Every structure is written in C-alpha cells, then in structure tokens.
Structure 1
Amino acid sequence: MTIKKITTLFLFIASFSIVAQQKITLEEIWSGAFRTKGMDELHAMKNTNQYTVLDFNRTSRSMQIDLYDFATLEKISTLIDTKDFQELSSIDSYTFDKTESKILLATNSSPIFRHSFIADYFVYDIKSKSLKKFTEKQIQEPTFSSDGSKIAYAFENNLYIYDVITQTHLQITQDGKKNAIINGITDWVYEEEFAFVKAFDWNKTGDKIAFIRFDETDVPEFSMDIYNEGLYPTQTVFKYPKAGEKNALVSLHIYDLKTNVSTKIDLGNYSDFYIPRIEWTNEANTLSAQIMNRHQNNLDLHFIDAVSGKTKIVLNEKDKAYVDITDNLTFLVDNSFIWTSEKDGFNHVYHYDKNGKLQNQITKGDWEVTAYYGYDEKNKTIYYQSVENGSINRDVYSINISGKKKTKLTTKTGTNDATFSPNFQYFINTYSSATNAPLYTLNESKTGKELKKIQSNEELEAKVATYDIAPKEFFTLTTSKGYTLNAWSIKPKDFDTSKKYPVLMYQYSGPGSQQVANQWNSANDYWYYMLAQKGYIVICVDGRGTGFKGADFKKVTYKELGKYEVEDQIDAAKEIAKYNYVDPSRIGIWGWSYGGFMSSNCILKGNDVFKTAIAVAPVTSWRYYDSIYTERYMQTPQENASGYDNNSPINHVEKLKGNYLLIHGTADDNVHVQNTMKMIEALVQANKQFDWAIYPDKNHGIYGGKTRLQLYTKMTNFLLEKL
C-alpha cells in the first residue's frame, strides 16, 4: 500500500471517528438542535371525519390552518393563511364554532400566569373568507355559543356577550374589579392548581351561561418587584392564598339571555368550599357542578335545574386522603355519564345513569387508567389509555361500555397517545420511547392496525446516533425498607465496571408525578447525556408518592410531604452506593420546584450520603405555598404544624455538610422567591457556606434569551467542580 493511500485511509478513519463520537454541548441543547417534528395544534373535527393542523411556512413566514382527511391523510384545503391577511401577524391558538363554519383566532397573545393570557381575537368565516376583529380590546377566553351566533368573553374581570349577527356587545356582569371580584375567569390559585381559566360555560341551546364568581377581597396579597430596564422597579401585586389563609369566596350564577337576568344558585350548606368544575349536561336546563370541601377529601357532583334553581347531589366521592379533579366527566346522549375514580385503589372508568346510579365499573385491575378519550355511541365502545403494560409505559385500549371486549390497540412498547376521528373509525397515534423519537401514525380503531405513517423523526434519531452516548436503561431498585421503585440510568458510552463513577440523581417526587417514563428525550435528558460524556452516571428514581402505581403508593405521603419521598431518595442513594462501579463519596442530587424542595432536604437529612445538591426554584416551607395544592396533601398549618415544620429544609440547615447551590427567579409567581430568601437567611445564621444564583424578572421556568444556557452552564460547572 502506498503512503498516499495509507494517509487517505487514516484521515477517513479519523473523520469517521469524530462523526461517530460527537460531544453534546449546552449550546446545541438550548438552541433547539434536538427539537422533534410534531403536529402542532392538532384538532379532530366534530362534524366531519377530518382534522386540522397549524402549520408554518418558512419560505413565506406565514401560518396556515390546514384541513386533512382522517381516512387518507390527504390535505383537503387550507382554511386560512396569515399571508392573506395583513392584520393577522400570527395564529397563537384557534377554536371552531359548533357548525365548524367559523374560527376564533388568537394573535398577539400576552401571558398573565401559567395558562391565562389576553389576546387580540378575530372571527374568520371559512365560506366567505372574511376576517373580522370583533373588539379592539385584548380579551380572555372568547367562546362561541352552540349555534355560533354569539361569543361570550371576559374583559377586566367582567363577562360580555358579542352578537355576531347584530355586531353588538352586551356586558352581563358589572362588579368586576382587579384584586377584588372576578366573573367567569379563575383566580390565580384555581388556575394553577385546578388547571383551568375559563370559569363559564354555554348551555346546549345557547340561551344560558353559567359562571363562577370569585370574591378575592379578603385574600392576602403577594407583591413582586419587577426590575425591567427603567430607573425605578415596578411592582406586581396579586391575590395569593397561602396555606391556611383566606381563599376567594366562590359562588355559582346562571345568566339567562332571554330575560337578561342573572341568578345566584343556592348550593346548600357549604362553607369554605371550591367549585373546581362546571359543565352543562346534554339537557339544556341541567347544569353540573363539582363542589369540594377545603380539605378536598369530599366531592359532590350536583345537577342543577336552571329554571327552578334547585340542586341535587347525584354522586359523592370521599377519600381518607384527597380526591383528584379531572376533565373526564362525559355526558352521553341519554345524559348518563362517564366518571373516573380511584375508589377501588386504582384509577378506573365508571358509568352512571342520569340520576347518579352506578351502572357499571367498566375497567378493573391493579393498574391505572391514565387518559379517557371518548365514547363511540354507535358501537357502545369506550377508548382510553392505561399503564396495564407496566407503569412506565402507556397503551391505547378499547372496551365495551359493559366492561367486556377489551382490545389493546397499540403494539409498540413505550408511550402511546391517541387523537380519535369524530366517528371513532380512526385514531392518530403518537408513539415514542426512550430509544424511539416521536412517530405519528394513522391507525384503525377496531383492531389498532397501523394504516399509514404521518410524521416521524428518523433524521433526529440518526443525528442522536452520531453522538457518543449510551441509551437510557430502565430498572427497579429495592430499598433496605423493602420498597421496589422504578428507576432509569444514563451511563458513559465507554462504561467500565472496573472504574468508580460519580453519580448525579435527578428527581421531582411530587404527588402523582412520574419521571421514570418510557418516552423520548427531554432537554434535560440531553444534559444528562452530556454529563455522562464527562464521566458521570445519572440516575432517576421515582419514590413513594409518585403516580400510576395505585392510590396507596401515591397517597402514603399525605400530611407528611417531604418525609417518605426523602427517605426513599436517601435509601436509593445508599443502594446505588453499593454498586461496585459507583464512587460512594461522590453522589449528588438535583431537582426543580418540588424537586428542589427534595434535593434541599436530601443534602441536609442525608448529609452522610450526598456530597452535592442543586435546588432550582424550591419550596423551602409549605407554609409559603398556595392553599389548594398544599392543603390537599397537608391539611392546614393550623391543623398539621408538625407536618409542615418537620419536613421544611429551613429547619434543618445546621445539618449542611456538602456543596449546595440554590437558584431562583425573582418574578416567580408560583413558588415565590421568598422561599429561597428565607432559606438563605437560615443558612447564613447557621454560618453555612453555599452557592446561590438569582435571576431577575424570571418566573418559575427561568427562561428567555440566553437564560437557560447560562443557568445550565452554571449548574454544569458547579457539578464538575463539586461532585
């Protein structure tokens, strides 16, 4: 072989080696280099066997709502393209009227809190291709009436109705006032913890609107300084009920468009209660309302006669710990209803008649239903998602409403999620696993047979394969106390059992949560792969209190948040320390939010186990967190002082031995920076050395511009130096 040929071969091998062993960088992770392709704003139509997707044309820099056929996946038409309308800069979200002939389009959205926002709204008529901005105000939650002739919306804490035909506005509440009275929109704590914003609903004939009114007058205020670019900071002040403090007083009202009269509904002898859901049934004059006590361990489902105002309780749920709120309540044609409940120890589907009499428990077993998709009246078939194939996996199933003829519709092990066609003939399945990037396929609903591939991420899979990383491994870990816990690990590609590796543990651990799930990579996973390339093993363990393994496993932490979860992380770390390839003197732990609460407790209570901890946006005392979330799991501080204080990291700062990094954003409306400031002061007075970083004007997510890159660079450098 000539020297030239040898040199060429050497260069080829060297270049191949570089390609095959690329290193992940933080710049790549936070620039979107590993972003997946998906189907944005996928909506199944109601009246035709079609669906819409919000697309973006990079060439024209415009957005389109495209209509597709479920059976063929062929694009039928573009319903609207922003390039045709100068006044429509973008489409942030969209909803159809009942006839699907008009679309409500949101643009120029401005966020308020996690779910809420104000925006400019337009009505688009598909047939005439006319676009109309029906109010110059930035409004909230506009919603078509059943016949599409009217739109109800909220503006500055009051409710309005816009008549599409006469083009007139009617204000139906008058007393809305910031930080005092809210009509038809939830307050901060309902939005965050009951996960809804629109607290009003049209009935089936479009002549009545039910709404919840919030009186926040006596709720304590929280203030945040906003530093901006100005000479003086500004201040944001909002009502935030902390644990044990006064909540908003809620009341239920029905506005009759025929009489223009609003009626307050007498719900009975409740005091200090919640209305976490309202929904009109299929009977135009029957409204459903879920009423829950402050402890959230008793829920009554009321049916309310809108004409007489009389109410009756058709269903009651009690629990020794708490009852979870869902959006699974579904009314069938005969006004019987589907309900999900954990009352037999696992979350399952139930069918009740219109008077609340149990007809059947449809699903049964020592596994959880994780999503309810709908009911096919024609074939008397219910579609749902569950963890029957292992708590880290998700599959789609069908079952007859009688509880018979159960069919598993998905075959690939991992996480499957479905969007069904209106006639339930087809579903679009979204599948991913730890080793398979998201794949969208068209499937037939009777057998689950895959008919066609819609969208895949093979390019991303191929790209990830060029990096020097080993796939995530799932396993179970049994602690010294005998608890078997789900776990995963990410190891260096050149892992050698004869070496001793440092370990970083990641967890969240909040009630009903799950981090050990067989699904595609998050941005954090790429960070873990990067750390593995630097010689670390990353391990995640879901301890007691996390979800999808039954009510007892989840609710064991009741009244003791931070006790059993911390025990499990410490015990898991002790087991990991026994692995012959782990350096027991170099085990660290990190987490965000609830996970930051946990990592703080772990380095204090487990100071002989953990060398290093990072806590981002942590709760440091549940006394500082909101009423609905905290009291659901802890009752009030007045009732359960020891539960609050024994597990607060603030009260254990004298135990700090290792390296501790504390991080928070000053504009965090969720977990207030007060938590970190109190923790800092306690550490200072205990004369403990620690590191901390504060991000001005950043909320609970701590992002924007280069923020995430800077944050993860700081955390990476801290781990390289301290672990």
Structure 2
Amino acid sequence: MTKSIFFSILFSVLFINIYAQQSDLSVEKIMQDPKWMGTFPSNIKWDQNSSAIYFNYNRDDDPSDSLYRIRLKNPKNIEKVTWTEEKDIDFARGTYNSKKTKKIYAKGNTLIIFDVKSDKETELLQFPKNISNPNFLANEDWIAFEADDNAYIYSQETGILKKLTQIKSGEAPKKKDPKSSDKASFLEEENLKLLSVVKEREDNKETSKKIREARKEKEAYTYYSGDNEIFNLQVSPDAKYVTFTLYQRGKSDATIVPNYIDASSYTTDLGTRSKVGDDETKVALAIYNIEKDTVYTVNTSTLPGIKDLPDYVKDYPDKEWEEKEREVISSQAYFSDNGQHAIVNVRSKDNKDRWIAKLDLTSGELTNLDRQRDEAWIAGPGIGWTMGGGTMGWLPDNKHLYFQSEATGYSHLYLLDVTNGKKKALTSGNFEVFDPFMSNDKKNWYLSTSEVGPAERHFYTMPIMGGTMGQLTTMTGNNDVSLSPDEKHMAIRHSYSNQPWELYYKKNSAKAEAEQLTSGQSDAFQSYTWRDPKLITFKAEDGAQVPARLYVPEASVKNNAAVIFVHGAGYLQNVHKWWSSYFREYMFHNLLTDLGYTVIDIDYRGSAGYGRDWRTGIYRHMGGKDLSDQVDGAKYLVDNYGIDQEKIGIYGGSYGGFITLMALFTEAETFTSGAALRSVTDWAHYNHGYTANILNEPFNDPIAYQRSSPIYFAEGLEGNLLMAHGMVDVNVHFQDVVRLSQRLIELGKDNWEMAIYPAEDHGFVEPSSWTDEYKRILKLFNTTLLKK
C-alpha cells in the first residue's frame, strides 16, 4: 500500500469519526426495542356509561401492551385491568334504537340489549351459533341478526325467533338420473313383460309414491351459494328482504416465498399473494325475497358508462379493444330507517368509476343517482374500497343519503336527496374530511378535517344540513378523538412532531381545556432534545409547491452533504405536525443532522393529504413526478442551503426503496448514493389491488409498467447502491431484488451491494435487523458522501 493511499484512508476514517462524536445518539440506541422510548396509549375506547376511558398501554414493562383504564371521577389514577375484569367490561358498541334509549349487541352466541337510562344489560337470547350484526328493525320490537350465514329476527315482546333465510354453502344435491343404461333398461323391460307378479308389485310401488308426493307439503326453498362466500348480510327494516354479497375468490396463481430458517431446519414454502393482473375474484350483490322465497342478483348492466373504455387505450392504436360491460364490485345495501329506500355503492373493477344507485328490491334493478369518474383511479378518504361503501348512510328524514366524494378534487361530505336526485356539498375547500358521524340526536355532525392545514388534524361539529363548522380541539398536531357515548366528553389521542402520542381528556366544548392523562416518555428518551422539523414547500419543475420536512444542522458541524428520505406506501403522508409512524427514521434523521447532514423528507406526488390531483399525479408513470419531486428537492437544498451537488444521498423503504432505485438509475447526476430497502423493482410482480389502480394491468398497459419499473433502467447505475431486503417478505418478495441483482451482474455493475435478512418480513421486527440495516445505511453515506 502506498503512503498516499494509506493517509487518504486514515484521513477518511478520522474525518468520519470526528462527525460521529457529535451526537448523543447512535444507531444501536435508536434501533433497539421501541420500549426504550417509553409507553404510549393506543386503541382508545369508552365503557357503555361514559364513566371510564380504556386503552392499550404498557406501564409495567410487560411483554406486550395490556388494557388500562382511567375513570373520569379520578383522572389522575391509571388502573391496569385484570384479565378476569376485562371479560366483563361492557365497552361502547352495538346499534342504538331511534331514540338512543336502548342498544343491541352480541357477545359470542348471546344477544344482549342495553338500557341506557338504567345502565343495565339484559340477555335476550342464547343461540347455538355466534351472533353478529344485530340491529333494530323498523318497529324496534323485532331485532335482526346474522348467524352461520343466515338471517334471523327476534321479537322482544313475544320471544318468537324466526329464521328468514335458508342459505347453505356448496352445490344443491343432484337428483338421481332415473334413466339407466341401455342394457339395463332392456333387461328390466323384458323382465316386467315376462313376470306379471313383479310388474304388479312395481306398479303398486309407483302408485304409492304418487300418493305420498301428493300429500307431502312443498319443500322449503334453499339457496345454495356454490363456491361463493357470504358477506354483508343485511335485513331490510320491514324484514321482507335480505341482501348479501356473493364473493368468489377465483383460482389465481399464488406465488411462493421460501423460508430458509424454519424451526424444522428444512426449507419451507410460504404461500402468498398473486401478481398484478391475476385477479379472478367475482363479486355480486344478491337479494333474498322472503315473500317469494327466491334469490336473484342485482343487475348492474344498466349503469351509465358501464361499457366505457379508459382513455389510455389511445396509446395502443394497433390493439382492438372490445367494448363490453365492465366487471363491478357492489357494496352492501344501505336501507333507510323506514325501509322505503335502498342504496348501493358500486365500483368498477378497473377502478375508474364509482356509482351510487337506488336499488329496486323487487326486481334487482338499479337507478343511478351519482357517478364519479376518474381516468386515473377512484380513491380518497371516506370513498370506500372493494366491498365497502366508505362513508355512507341516511339522515333521519329517510330521503337524504350522505356520502363522501372527491368530485371537487378533495374528499368532502355530501347529501343526496334520493327523491329528486339533488346533491348538496356540506363541506368545501382545499382540505379533506375524515370519519364523519352523526350526533345521538341526529342534529349535528362530528368530523375530523385538515382545514387548518394539511399538517394538522382537528375535530369539529357542524349542523346536520351543513353550515359553520365549530372547532372542538386546539392542540397543534393530530387530535384523534374518541367521543364518549353520552357525547359529553372527548378522549383525545394527541401527538406533535417531536412528541409521541399521549392521552388527553376534555369536555365536549370548544372553550374547555384539555387535560393530559398520560406521560409515557422514558427518562432515556427525554434526555435528548428531539428536533421539531421545519415545514417548508419548494417549487417543482412543473410549478407545483411540494411540501417537505427539513432538518438543518448547526453551522459548526455542517458538512454540506444532504440525505433525502422517501416515505413508503406511496399514498401516505409524512410531512405533518404529529408523531410519525416512521419514528425510527425520524430518530435517524436527528442523528444524521447531529453529524452535519441536512435532511429533507418530501411528500412527493402520490402522497396522501393533498387531494385527488396530488394523489393521481403518478398515474401510469411511477418514477415520474414522484421522482422529479426528489430531484427538485435536491436542487432546492443546493440553491438555498449550500449543499454540494456531489454530496446528495437518498434512501427509503418499500415505495421509498423503489424511488431510490429509480433515482440511482435515471438521475445519476443528482444522487451520489442510495439505500433501497425492501424495494419493488418490477411493478408487474407486485400485487393487484395496489398496482392496477395506478398502472392498470400489465397485459393491457405495458407502457406504464416498462417506464415505471427500475429493472428496465438498471444500466443507468453510476453511483453507490445498497439494497436491503427481508427474505421472508410476503409483500414485496425477495425475488424482486434477486432478479435485479442478476440484471446488475449481467450489466457488469460493481458499485452495488446487498444485505439480506433471513428472519424478516416486509416490516422488520427484530432490533438486530434494524440496527444492522441502518449501520449499513450510515456507513454508505459517511464513506461515499463525506470523502469528497
């Protein structure tokens, strides 16, 4: 080794160590079991009588979270609930009657009614099977429920129990074919001709059979579901109809993920999802007509635009496109309280259309009331997914349906008068609405929105027909509210950018002060001053203002290098003023900033929280605007924070790993190094539900897949690439990076390395794996960005 090389290496090591000494944090500390940070409440719920708040917590350092309770009469005392107590607690659940005086619910196979005024529950019925989905019918004496894929009704007054449906799985028994073979028929006929006694006896048998059949009552109708599964069974308020979803899974080709470290010491295979485009599921909504004793399916063929082709077909002029009725997925039926109306939310399987239609229960025909078309894909808060209708229901006037729609570009709450088709927006503006529900007296709404700004969530009340929203929470950040059953109190799970979730209590009033009930941070966690990232926007190449979180080091340690973090999931928000689900990455960014790095975390195109156009900005080209937003973020740092153009790294997991690969393969002049974690490398190998929304199906739209998949651009790798992947990842399969590795080998690339984790699925769970992975990421950035 020459002296120059030796001193160069020595200088690099010393240089890195100087920066490593600037932080009280370390990768080992950050990535240890999260319990080191403290304990934070989750899964907030109330008891029936609004006297206590229950939540999951771990104050006593148990192996996992346990159930805890705070009684309102003594809010300073946090009680741990014993297992025996937990079985007897009556949590707020079930369905109210119209006056909110009674509530019906089930515990296993027992049907229970709860009297709100007396605070008493009474067992109404014990059934042989588990009971689900109990609710009051129109006259409120009869209660409908589901058990074993059939509908029942029970009268509180008389105690009469009726089974409304006769649904069985499998195929109907086949009747024996009376015809025998030609040979047997010939022998039987000859025998009867020759032997008169035998013929006489057979004639008597046939006569007796006809007499028995004439006397026998008509056999009860039975509906056999075949190879369909039964979901969403609903009894109409007049008990004349039962609707249910028929779901057929199909026979898609599952993929295999090998487990090399199974306890048996043998390699075992994990069966996982199929690939995009391989979706053979069938969904239909069926109606059980009780009076006519028959079942028929809802007819969706008359929906407007049911045969419309998507716009992207113009990119394939040489292909013949058949104009045919598209497959759809129907939600459950939504009945008005008086039973006069039924509504269905229908979604096309190609993701382009959502219809809200009135259902004629006597015929199964639909009348469209609202059609939302998006040439990208239908989504957004409250819009619903697969068989769910999202936010949907009826006002007490039995003529107004409420629902959410992105018709204006942001998800808002609407009313639709089903008698005349008129639609009214209850909320409007450049913000989104989350989880609206009606007050007990049905005079007001409760809802959460981002009206203050996309970086905050607050809880509001609003008149039932619309009007001024009254803000009920004021703490900056995210206010996840659980309203008590009597609506007098709010349990608020709140967090801020550098403050994990804590539980607060507040009276249901805008003027009331919120009282903090938990303080779960450990001493070790509090000993470090966690940064409050600066929220900024920068201008993208197309003029859009892109939101980001910025971590700026002290001038004395600034090294003029930058790291860009790319969040996963695509449709997820990470630029906000509450505690991030990426808390490990947040802590890592604090460490990087201590070491002199400038860190930026971008809500690129495709992220949640900014409306339809932001969400669909990646349609048919992942690695397009979502990647150019990262490039523009890097340019912003160079122009405004003195970052050296040759000292920019990028990293992220899942979707963030995909973007990292695209950055290293197609934007080599911008990014020197990147760490791609659990990355999608070829979108044709990912799942159907997520990918087909954005890129359609690979056999129909191959252009979208080829320009969106990193494996097609691997020849562009010039910088330094680290790939890390769990070998038992059943979401983004290990096969993804194996195929890409072979591609890099064939291309003769040698500036990459791979770290594999035999015990990890998509979301790592072992602290040792997290530590190893992030030590490698830090080493990558230190050795490649700081050496220049």
**TM-score of the superposition, structure 2-length normalised?**
0.72
The one of 28, 41, 47 aligned to 1:26: 28
Displacement of 1:254: 4.1
> Aligned with 1:23: secondary structure?
coil
> For residues 217 and 545 of structure 1, do their structure 2 counterparts lie closer, same or farther at Cα, with a shift above 3 Å needed?
closer
- In structure 2, the partner of 1:545 is 606
Displacement of 1:470: 3.6
The answer to whether the Cα contact below 8 Å between 2:31 and 2:767 also exists between their aligned partners in 1 is no
> For residues 71 and 233 of structure 1, do their structure 2 counterparts lie closer, same or farther at Cα, with a shift above 3 Å needed?
same
CA distance in 2, matches of 1:378, 1:94: 17
The one of 760, 764, 770 aligned to 1:708: 770
> Aligned with 1:609: secondary structure?
coil
- 2:268 is matched by which residue type in structure 1? T
- In structure 2, the partner of 1:117 is none
CA distance in 2, matches of 1:610, 1:295: 36
Matched, 1:312 2:314: no
Displacement of 1:721: 3.7
Residues 183-202 of structure 1: pairs in structure 2 closer than 5 A? 183-184=229-230, 199-201=232-234
Aligned residue pair count? 652
The answer to whether the Cα contact below 8 Å between 1:442 and 1:450 also exists between their aligned partners in 2 is no
Displacement of 1:644: 1.5
- In structure 1, the partner of 2:415 is 351
- In structure 2, the partner of 1:288 is 343
> For residues 555 and 421 of structure 1, do their structure 2 counterparts lie closer, same or farther at Cα, with a shift above 3 Å needed?
same
Displacement of 1:53: 1.8
Residues 111-130 of structure 1: pairs in structure 2 closer than 5 A? none
CA distance in 2, matches of 1:162, 1:211: 14
- In structure 2, the partner of 1:362 is 426
> For residues 125 and 298 of structure 1, do their structure 2 counterparts lie closer, same or farther at Cα, with a shift above 3 Å needed?
closer
Displacement of 1:501: 3.4
The answer to whether the Cα contact below 8 Å between 2:69 and 2:78 also exists between their aligned partners in 1 is yes
> For residues 171 and 519 of structure 1, do their structure 2 counterparts lie closer, same or farther at Cα, with a shift above 3 Å needed?
farther
Displacement of 1:33: 3.8
The answer to whether the Cα contact below 8 Å between 1:212 and 1:253 also exists between their aligned partners in 2 is yes
Displacement of 1:443: 3.4
Displacement of 1:568: 1.3
> For residues 577 and 708 of structure 1, do their structure 2 counterparts lie closer, same or farther at Cα, with a shift above 3 Å needed?
same
Residues 53-72 of structure 1: pairs in structure 2 closer than 5 A? 53-54=54-55
Greater CA drift, 593-602 or 399-408: 399-408
Q: In the TM superposition, what whole-angstrom CA distance separates every residue of 1:623-668 from its partner, at most 9, and x where no partner exists?
A: 2223332222222333432222122111111111112122223333
> For residues 535 and 63 of structure 1, do their structure 2 counterparts lie closer, same or farther at Cα, with a shift above 3 Å needed?
closer
CA distance in 1, matches of 2:405, 2:517: 35
> For residues 619 and 397 of structure 1, do their structure 2 counterparts lie closer, same or farther at Cα, with a shift above 3 Å needed?
same
Q: In the TM superposition, what whole-angstrom CA distance separates every residue of 1:392-423 from its partner, at most 9, and x where no partner exists?
A: 22222323244322322222332223222345
The answer to whether the Cα contact below 8 Å between 1:226 and 1:233 also exists between their aligned partners in 2 is yes
The answer to whether the Cα contact below 8 Å between 1:490 and 1:538 also exists between their aligned partners in 2 is yes
Displacement of 1:502: 2.4
Displacement of 1:301: 1.7
> Aligned with 2:626: secondary structure?
helix
Greater CA drift, 413-422 or 701-710: 701-710
The one of 334, 337, 354 aligned to 2:401: 337
- 1:292 is matched by which residue type in structure 2? R
- In structure 2, the partner of 1:10 is none
CA distance in 1, matches of 2:332, 2:599: 44
> For residues 593 and 378 of structure 1, do their structure 2 counterparts lie closer, same or farther at Cα, with a shift above 3 Å needed?
same
The answer to whether the Cα contact below 8 Å between 1:479 and 1:575 also exists between their aligned partners in 2 is no
- 1:235 is matched by which residue type in structure 2? D
Displacement of 1:616: 1.7
> For residues 625 and 476 of structure 1, do their structure 2 counterparts lie closer, same or farther at Cα, with a shift above 3 Å needed?
same
> For residues 510 and 67 of structure 1, do their structure 2 counterparts lie closer, same or farther at Cα, with a shift above 3 Å needed?
closer
More helix by share: 2
The one of 441, 451, 457 aligned to 1:388: 451
Displacement of 1:52: 5.0
- 2:43 is matched by which residue type in structure 1? E
- 2:353 is matched by which residue type in structure 1? N
The answer to whether the Cα contact below 8 Å between 2:432 and 2:611 also exists between their aligned partners in 1 is no
CA distance in 2, matches of 1:411, 1:299: 36
- 2:425 is matched by which residue type in structure 1? Q
> For residues 547 and 540 of structure 1, do their structure 2 counterparts lie closer, same or farther at Cα, with a shift above 3 Å needed?
same
Aligned Cα root-mean-square deviation (Å): 4.3
> For residues 261 and 221 of structure 1, do their structure 2 counterparts lie closer, same or farther at Cα, with a shift above 3 Å needed?
farther
Displacement of 1:516: 0.7
Matched, 1:264 2:272: no
Displacement of 1:692: 1.5
- 1:418 is matched by which residue type in structure 2? V
> Aligned with 1:585: secondary structure?
coil
The answer to whether the Cα contact below 8 Å between 2:461 and 2:470 also exists between their aligned partners in 1 is yes
- In structure 2, the partner of 1:188 is none
Q: In the TM superposition, what whole-angstrom CA distance separates every residue of 1:299-323 from its partner, at most 9, and x where no partner exists?
A: 1123334454343323221223322
The one of 263, 285, 291 aligned to 1:252: 285
CA distance in 2, matches of 1:714, 1:549: 34
> Aligned with 1:391: secondary structure?
coil
Displacement of 1:24: 4.8
The answer to whether the Cα contact below 8 Å between 1:181 and 1:213 also exists between their aligned partners in 2 is no
> Aligned with 2:503: secondary structure?
strand
CA distance in 1, matches of 2:273, 2:65: 37
CA distance in 2, matches of 1:501, 1:83: 59
Displacement of 1:242: 1.1
The answer to whether the Cα contact below 8 Å between 2:250 and 2:279 also exists between their aligned partners in 1 is no
CA distance in 1, matches of 2:577, 2:61: 38
Runs of 5+ in structure 1 lacking a partner? 1-19, 106-120, 186-198
> For residues 323 and 479 of structure 1, do their structure 2 counterparts lie closer, same or farther at Cα, with a shift above 3 Å needed?
closer
- In structure 1, the partner of 2:6 is none
Displacement of 1:28: 5.0
Matched, 1:82 2:143: no
Displacement of 1:371: 0.7
Residues 302-701 of structure 1: pairs in structure 2 closer than 5 A? 302-324=357-379, 325-326=383-384, 327-335=390-398, 336-355=400-419, 357-365=421-429, 367-376=430-439, 378=441, 380-445=443-508, 447-457=509-519, 459=521, 464-467=525-528, 469-492=530-553, 495-496=554-555, 499-508=558-567, 512-521=571-580, 522-689=583-750, 690-696=752-758, 698-701=760-763
Choose 1 or 2 for highest CA Rg: 2
> For residues 478 and 240 of structure 1, do their structure 2 counterparts lie closer, same or farther at Cα, with a shift above 3 Å needed?
same
CA distance in 1, matches of 2:596, 2:484: 48
The answer to whether the Cα contact below 8 Å between 1:398 and 1:406 also exists between their aligned partners in 2 is yes
- In structure 1, the partner of 2:8 is none
> For residues 133 and 491 of structure 1, do their structure 2 counterparts lie closer, same or farther at Cα, with a shift above 3 Å needed?
farther
Matched, 1:242 2:314: no
Greater CA drift, 449-458 or 326-335: 449-458
Runs of 5+ in structure 2 lacking a partner? 1-21, 97-101, 115-119, 137-141, 172-225, 307-324, 385-389
Displacement of 1:606: 1.3
**TM-score of the superposition, structure 1-length normalised?**
0.77
Matched, 1:146 2:140: no
Displacement of 1:566: 0.7
CA distance in 2, matches of 1:123, 1:58: 35
CA distance in 2, matches of 1:530, 1:579: 22
Displacement of 1:211: 3.3
CA distance in 1, matches of 2:520, 2:59: 21
- 1:372 is matched by which residue type in structure 2? D
The one of 229, 235, 241 aligned to 2:263: 229
- 2:760 is matched by which residue type in structure 1? K
| Percentage of matched positions with identical amino acids | 19
- In structure 2, the partner of 1:278 is 332
- 1:550 is matched by which residue type in structure 2? G
Matched, 1:215 2:278: no
CA distance in 2, matches of 1:310, 1:597: 45
The answer to whether the Cα contact below 8 Å between 1:351 and 1:362 also exists between their aligned partners in 2 is yes
